[in-house]
């Protein structure tokens, strides 16, 4: 390196400069010298011409005299003398006839110049004498001076001839020779001195400082820019100083700009790193690709590996196309979405499935757009693709869960109604739809009272539940749907989660259950009565037996019919007839009769109570219910107690017996007891008619109801109130002044417990009552 940097003197700028300068200098010097020499030459030549004229003056008189006098000798010597003059190289003299009379030295005949020997002949020289030999020709430049030879005699002048004197350049050269030499020497010496001096000083002043600068610059590097300074050894403020300053300034600038550039680069690098990290950290695949399928990828983030199992390089270099991963079924959708977005200059978004490298199917969401040039021509696509498989799975799971929850609440036997804080329905289940006949869509957003009128009375509770955040409940809430009385349990659960205000109302129709409960209670009561009766029947029956038997014996012994009475009366001396009259008057017999009646009634009560105790069904055999009813009607007609109050025969009996009803297994006497009870009750009820225009009438119906036989005993009496209806089958419950309060309850017990049937009463006050008995057609377990 260093050796290459070292500059040979020959190649130095100084040398080159010198060379150029000296070349020019030399040219100029030579030109000036030559000019000097030419002028010198011309000057000498003109000097010579003057000399030749001077020579003319010197010799013209002599020559004229000689010629005039024809003095050949003198002429000869004179020519000889002329040739002796250094300036003259040749002489030619012509006479008036033009013939040469004397020649010598270098002369010219026309164009030919040459040397001839000295000849003189006043008569004229022959041409042969003056001829210039071939080898005497002269090449140097010759010049001449010609003058006439005139002889002046008295006032008369005569031209005798003409003389020509020749000189040539060699004469001039001889004169200027030394001057020329000095000139050349002068020039050469000056030039050489200048050369050396220039070289020497240029070395000190230019070459060395520059070499130092060059050496110094070699040490400049990016590392020492901040501290590096070049120093050039020179004096004064000259170009080198300026160069040094410039160079240092340049280094300074360089350093500064380098620093700036470093900062910029650092900033750039950071920025790029951040950008790269940002792009790489985007959960998904960031891409740039071609417009057309299969969307050859131009740029792609490493998210590709996660998304589809292939590294980005597979797409960028490996020849893999993203389009190949899209499931064929979804391809048209993706294509359409992308093309539509590109055409409309709108971002596009599309969800579809791709095949992961490991074979699994992934759901992805792609958001992208086309990039256009200034003419609106699309160039490429850019966008991001996110894996939404998990989201899809969650969505599916949520959908499934929602369905499950809906199924769950729909499968609830209760009506479930969700309301907001204003009491508007936000949701309800299938049961609520069934109960109200209003679909969820119709009910949504409607006030509760409007779509679920049965809950109107519960609105206050709903509000309270929401306000107090407490569960509220109400049991056996009454409502009427289509005129039918229904009972519901209503629970109001406030929704306590944050951000949700409202309540869920659960409505259970408990009408059937309440009925059942009522029946259970009846049965239990009866069973306990039955158990009690069985336990005490013996204890009561014995004293009752004593009472009744003794009354009978007492009455017997007071009668006049018995012979023993007559005998005894006679023995004690009284008249039986008188005694009888006395007892009649004092109503003793009546009282004894009433004791007997009371005893009998007590006996009947015990007997009825005993029928509450369950007994075997030994006497269960199939019976025609119509026949049993008819027999009972007959029996009722002859009932002693009944007869006393009204005539059963006045009651109209309407029979509506189903012809297809099979015989029903039952205990005939017990069922008849039931029917008799009902007829007696009805007859008694109709005996005090609420509506005189309504004739007393029984409607007796039998019909088949599935696997049950249904028997209805409907009267046209005053009916019963709801309160009474509820308690009608209760033991010892009675509305009659005279009555055990056991008739209906015994009937109920016989039907439900002994026969496995049901017994209900339907009644509206003032509209009569209808007892409905259902007995199973098959005697089951």
Interface with other proteins by CB under 8 A: which residues? 533-534, 537-539, 541-550, 552-553, 556-557, 562, 564, 596, 599-600, 603, 610
Around 434, how many Cα atoms within 13 Å sit in the side-chain half-sphere? 13
Q: Which is nearer to other proteins, 290 or 596 (CB)?
A: 596
Q: Answer whether 710's CB lies under 8 Å from 774's CB.
A: yes
Q: Which is nearer to other proteins, 71 or 541 (CB)?
A: 541
Those residues with Cβ within 8 angstroms of residue 738's Cβ, 6 or more apart along the chain or in another chain: none
Alpha-carbon span 767 to 717, nearest angstrom: 7
Q: Answer whether 707's CB lies under 8 Å from 778's CB.
A: yes
Q: Which is nearer to other proteins, 121 or 607 (CB)?
A: 607
Q: Which is nearer to other proteins, 422 or 593 (CB)?
A: 593
According to DSSP, residue 447 is labeled: B
Q: Which is nearer to other proteins, 148 or 531 (CB)?
A: 531
Q: How far is the CB of 641 from other proteins (least distance, A)?
A: 15
Structural tokens at position 210: 């520059």
Paired with 369 in beta bridges are 382
Token pair 């300053």 in the structure block, residue: 245
**What would the 3-class secondary structure string for 503-528 be?**
EEEEEEECHHHHHHHHHHHHHHHHHH
**What would the 3-class secondary structure string for 650-706 be?**
HCEEEEEECCCCCCEEEEHHHHHHHHHHHHHHHHHHHHCCCCCCCCCEEEEEEEEEC
Q: How far is the CB of 557 from other proteins (least distance, A)?
A: 7
Q: Which is nearer to other proteins, 531 or 637 (CB)?
A: 531
Instruction: Quote the crossing angle between the two packed helices 511-558 and 576-585, to the nearest 10°.
Output: 150
Q: Which segments of 409-468 are extended strands (E)?
A: 415-420, 425-428
Q: How far is the CB of 645 from other proteins (least distance, A)?
A: 21
Q: How far is the CB of 551 from other proteins (least distance, A)?
A: 8
Q: Which is nearer to other proteins, 216 or 537 (CB)?
A: 537
Instruction: Give me the long-range contacts of 115-118 (CB less than 8 A, separation at least 24).
Output: 115/90, 116/90, 118/76, 118/79, 118/80, 118/83
Q: Answer whether 777's CB lies under 8 Å from 708's CB.
A: yes
Q: Answer whether 165's CB lies under 8 Å from 90's CB.
A: yes
Alpha-carbon span 437 to 435, nearest angstrom: 6
Q: Which is nearer to other proteins, 405 or 553 (CB)?
A: 553
Q: How far is the CB of 670 from other proteins (least distance, A)?
A: 16
Query: What are the CA-CA distances from residue 178 to residues 40, 87, 705 (Å)?
Result: 11, 17, 173
Q: How far is the CB of 553 from other proteins (least distance, A)?
A: 5
Structural tokens at position 278: 């940002």
Q: Among 150, 8, 141, which Cα is nearest to 67's?
A: 150
Q: How far is the CB of 669 from other proteins (least distance, A)?
A: 15
Structural tokens at position 258: 């380098």
Q: How far is the CB of 585 from other proteins (least distance, A)?
A: 25
Instruction: Give me the long-range contacts of 302-310 (CB less than 8 A, separation at least 24).
Output: 303/385, 306/387, 307/354, 307/362, 307/364, 307/385, 307/387, 308/354, 308/355, 308/356, 308/357, 308/362, 309/356, 309/357, 309/358, 310/357
Q: How far is the CB of 679 from other proteins (least distance, A)?
A: 24
Q: How far is the CB of 684 from other proteins (least distance, A)?
A: 23
Q: Which is nearer to other proteins, 542 or 638 (CB)?
A: 542
Q: How far is the CB of 600 from other proteins (least distance, A)?
A: 5
| One-character DSSP codes across 565-621 | HHHHHHHHT--HHHHHHHHHHTTHHHHHHHHHHHHHHHHHHHHHHHTTS----TTEE
Alpha-carbon span 231 to 588, nearest angstrom: 168
Q: Which is nearer to other proteins, 257 or 552 (CB)?
A: 552
Around 11, how many Cα atoms within 13 Å sit in the side-chain half-sphere? 6
Q: Which is nearer to other proteins, 463 or 596 (CB)?
A: 596
Q: How far is the CB of 614 from other proteins (least distance, A)?
A: 12
The radius of gyration of the chain from alpha carbons, rounded to an integer in Å, stands at: 82
Q: Which is nearer to other proteins, 283 or 546 (CB)?
A: 546
Q: Answer whether 165's CB lies under 8 Å from 91's CB.
A: yes
Q: How far is the CB of 639 from other proteins (least distance, A)?
A: 17
Instruction: Quote the crossing angle between the two packed helices 588-610 and 511-558, to the nearest 10°.
Output: 140
Q: What are φ and ψ of residue 234, in 5° steps?
A: -155, 170
Q: Which is nearer to other proteins, 360 or 549 (CB)?
A: 549
Alpha-carbon span 639 to 680, nearest angstrom: 9
Alpha-carbon span 119 to 415, nearest angstrom: 176
Q: How far is the CB of 605 from other proteins (least distance, A)?
A: 12
Q: How far is the CB of 672 from other proteins (least distance, A)?
A: 20
Q: How far is the CB of 644 from other proteins (least distance, A)?
A: 18
Q: Which is nearer to other proteins, 351 or 600 (CB)?
A: 600
Q: Which is nearer to other proteins, 564 or 738 (CB)?
A: 564
Q: Which is nearer to other proteins, 600 or 617 (CB)?
A: 600
Q: Answer whether 28's CB lies under 8 Å from 190's CB.
A: no
Q: Answer whether 88's CB lies under 8 Å from 55's CB.
A: yes
| One-character DSSP codes across 194-208 | HHHHHHHHHIIIIIH
Helices (H), 69-145: 72-84, 127-130
Q: Which is nearer to other proteins, 383 or 731 (CB)?
A: 731
Q: Which is nearer to other proteins, 323 or 599 (CB)?
A: 599
Q: How far is the CB of 599 from other proteins (least distance, A)?
A: 7
Neighbouring C-beta atoms of residue 317, cutoff 10 Å: 10
Q: How far is the CB of 555 from other proteins (least distance, A)?
A: 11
């Amino acid at each position: 390196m260093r050796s290459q940097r070292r500059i040979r003197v020959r190649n130095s700028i100084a040398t080159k400069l010198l060379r150029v300068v000296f070349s020019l200098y030399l040219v100029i010097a030579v030109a000036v010298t030559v000019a000097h020499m030419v002028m010198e030459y011309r000057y000498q030549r003109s000097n010579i011409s003057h000399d030749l004229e001077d020579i003319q003056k010197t010799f013209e008189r002599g020559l004229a005299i000689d010629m005039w006098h024809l003095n050949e000798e003198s002429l000869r010597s004179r020519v000889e003398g002329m040739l002796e003059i250094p300036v003259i190289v040749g002489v030619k003299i012509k006479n008036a006839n033009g013939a040469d009379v004397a020649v010598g030295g270098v002369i010219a005949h026309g164009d030919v110049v040459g040397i001839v020997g000295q000849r003189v002949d006043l008569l004229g020289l022959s041409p042969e004498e003056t001829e210039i030999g071939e080898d005497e020709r002269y090449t140097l430049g010759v010049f001449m001076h010609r003058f006439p030879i005139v002889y002046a005699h008295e006032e008369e002048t005569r031209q005798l001839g003409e003389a020509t004197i020749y000189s040539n350049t060699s004469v001039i050269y001889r004169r200027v020779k030394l001057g020329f030499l000095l000139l050349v020497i002068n020039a050469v010496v000056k030039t050489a001195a200048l050369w050396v001096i220039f070289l020497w000083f240029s070395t000190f002043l230019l070459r060395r400082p520059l070499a130092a600068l060059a050496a110094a610059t070699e040490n400049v590097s990016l590392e020492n820019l901040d501290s590096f300074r070049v120093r050039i050894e020179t004096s004064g403020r000259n170009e080198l100083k300026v160069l040094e300053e410039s160079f240092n300034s340049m280094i300074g600038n360089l350093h500064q700009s380098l620093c700036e550039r470093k900062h910029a680069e650092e900033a750039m690098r950071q920025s790029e790193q951040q950008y790269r990290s940002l792009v790489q950290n985007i959960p998904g695949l960031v891409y740039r690709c071609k417009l057309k399928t299969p969307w050859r990828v131009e740029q792609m983030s490493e998210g590709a590996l996660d998304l589809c199992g292939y590294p980005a390089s597979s797409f960028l270099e490996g020849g893999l196309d993203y389009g190949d991963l899209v499931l064929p079924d979804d391809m048209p959708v993706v294509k359409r979405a992308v093309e539509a977005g590109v055409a409309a200059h709108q971002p596009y978004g599309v969800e579809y499935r791709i095949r992961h490298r490991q074979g699994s199917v992934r759901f992805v969401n792609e958001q992208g757009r086309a990039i256009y040039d200034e003419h609106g021509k699309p160039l490429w696509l850019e966008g991001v693709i996110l894996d939404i498989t998990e989201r899809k799975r969650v969505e599916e799971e949520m959908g499934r869960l929602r369905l499950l929850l809906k199924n769950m609440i729909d499968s609830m036997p209760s009506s479930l109604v969700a309301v907001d804080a204003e009491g508007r329905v936000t949701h309800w289940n299938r049961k609520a739809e069934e109960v109200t006949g209003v679909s969820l869509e119709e009910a949504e957003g409607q006030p509760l009272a409007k779509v679920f009128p049965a809950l109107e009375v519960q609105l206050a509770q709903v509000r309270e539940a929401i306000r107090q955040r407490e569960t509220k409940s109400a049991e056996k809430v009454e409502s009427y749907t289509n005129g039918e009385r229904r009972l519901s349990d209503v629970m109001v659960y406030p929704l306590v989660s944050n951000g949700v205000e409202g309540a869920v109302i659960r409505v259970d129709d408990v009408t059937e259950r309440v009925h059942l409960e009522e029946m259970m209670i009846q049965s239990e009561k009866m069973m306990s009565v039955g158990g009690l009766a069985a336990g005490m029947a013996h204890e009561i029956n014995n004293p009752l037996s004593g009472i009744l038997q003794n009354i009978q014996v007492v009455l017997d012994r007071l009668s006049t019919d018995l012979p023993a009475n007559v005998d005894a009366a006679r023995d004690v001396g009284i008249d039986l007839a008188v005694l009888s009259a006395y007892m009649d008057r004092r109503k003793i017999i009546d009282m004894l009769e009433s004791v007997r009646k009371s005893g009998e009634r007590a006996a009947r009560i015990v007997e009825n109570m005993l029928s509450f105790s369950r007994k075997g069904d030994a006497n269960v055999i199939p019976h025609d219910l119509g026949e049993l009813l008819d027999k009972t009607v007959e029996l009722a007609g002859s009932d002693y107690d009944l007869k006393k109050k009204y005539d059963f025969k006045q009651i109209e009996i309407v029979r509506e017996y189903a012809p297809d009803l099979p015989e029903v297994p039952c205990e005939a006497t017990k069922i008849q007891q039931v029917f008799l009870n009902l007829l007696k009750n009805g007859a008694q009820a109709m005996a005090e008619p609420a509506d005189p225009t309504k004739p007393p009438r029984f409607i007796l119906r039998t019909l088949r109801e599935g696997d049950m036989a249904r028997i209805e005993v409907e009267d046209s009496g005053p009916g019963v109130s709801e309160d009474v209806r509820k308690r009608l089958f209760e033991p010892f419950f009675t509305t009659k002044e005279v009555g055990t309060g056991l008739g209906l309850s015994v009937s109920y017990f016989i039907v439900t417990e002994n026969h496995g049937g049901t017994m209900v009463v339907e009644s509206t006050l003032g509209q009569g009552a209808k007892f409905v008995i259902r007995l199973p057609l098959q005697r089951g377990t």
